[in-house]
Amino acid sequence: MLLASRLAFAQAGKDCSQPTMRELGEWYHRNYQRADAELNKLYRQLTERLADPSERELLQQAEQAWAHYRDIQCAFETAGARAVPIHPVVVSTCLWEKTRAHIEDLQHQLNCPDGDPTCIHHKKEGGG
């Protein structure tokens, strides 16, 4: 984790040996924001692909439940670091990791092979 941040700071022309806590926090928060934007894009694509309104409703409910789980789970996992300056970095890292894993779930739904019973294959009329 810290190696990746040092590489990013080196590429940005910064002294990578001593990034400040604020810089680390901002870097990890930006990574989380990028992953969240990718997640939202995949969610929209999957929603558009679903032909059945009840399936779209299930997806919406699943996404809301997942977001709640992610937030509560990261709060739990990072509770021990609340009193230390690195807490924002730890929280952003947790959010990023959970979001990346969920991106893989949505990508699976969008790209799974025909016949896979764990996937939704219905498409809207005229949709792709």
Tell me what pLDDT residue 2 has.
44
Tell me what pLDDT residue 122 has. 58
Per-residue pLDDT tens digits of the chain, which is 128 residues long:
444 444 444 444 555 567 788 888 899 999 999 999 999 999 999 999 998 999 999 999 999 999 999 999 999 999 999 999 889 999 999 999 999 999 999 999 998 888 888 887 656 544 44
Tokens of 61: 């409910």
Radius of gyration of the chain (CA): 18
Question: What is the distance between the alpha carbons of residues 60 and 105, in angstroms, rounded to a whole number?
Answer: 14
Can you tell me the distance from the alpha carbon of 65 to that of 22, in angstroms, rounded to the nearest whole number? 31
CA torsion sign, 8 to 41 to 59 to 63? positive
Domains identified in the chain and CATH numbers = 20-111 (1.20.1270.180)
**How far from 8 is each of 77, 85, 106, CA to CA, in Å?**
25, 21, 27
Which residue matches tokens 């989380």?
A: 32
Residue 17, number of CB atoms within 10 A of its CB:
8
